[in-house]
Copies of this chain bind each other. A is one copy, B any other.
């Protein structure tokens, strides 16, 4: 039953419609939908009914479809012709593809460490420190957020906004995959030591060894996701 939209998340979305009108309606709607998808409130595979959603959000179909297009470009929704739009369900092939891309981009960015701006380097250290602080107080959601920020900071070492955007898309897809396998993301705890090792080695000028640690992380994370998706997907 994918058409019934009278869940909690829909009511929550509709209630928040009193904000300042900063950007366009479509973008604001897309922001809400994106948050709902990434938080897992709108489950992967669920269909988004145009009329029901449009009525609930009090926007026209055209505007809603515009929001759908934005999120489809971000690979968070999929469009099935004459059937509608659905929250994406990344499969094993997607994970393999995503991690192939991450290996190239993040390792390549790490190798730019010697040429990176100081602010970019500090952002990497800060992300690890944030993760450690969250672990101290048992905030596993915070640890997950810090981990995402860590990898965005690594990418930013390359100094390319286009690369940063692509990485944001890839990390969002990974989050979707977590929701497919129903993983509460707290396993990020296991990766904190690796992140620490990467920063330590970078600060010691051991770029090569840092890259090795990063590759170890990718192997583990990819394996975790692939086996998880094979089991639950």
A103 touches B108 (CB 8 A): yes
A163 touches B101 (CB 8 A): yes
A109 CA / B159 CA spacing, docked (Å)? 18
Interface membership of chain A positions 76-117, coded 1 if the CB is closer than 8 angstroms to chain B and 0 otherwise: 000000000000000000000110110111011100100000
A109 CA / B162 CA spacing, docked (Å)? 17
Which residues from B are CB-within-8-Å of A158? Answer: 100-101, 103-104
A100 touches B163 (CB 8 A): yes
CB distance from A179 to the nearest CB of B (A): 19
B108 touches A159 (CB 8 A): no
Which residues from B are CB-within-8-Å of A100? Answer: 158-160, 163
A207 CA / B159 CA spacing, docked (Å)? 25
B160 touches A97 (CB 8 A): yes
Interfacial residues of chain A within 161-178, with CB under 8 A of chain B in the complex: 161-163, 166, 169-170
Interfacial residues of chain A within 159-209, with CB under 8 A of chain B in the complex: 159-163, 166, 169-170
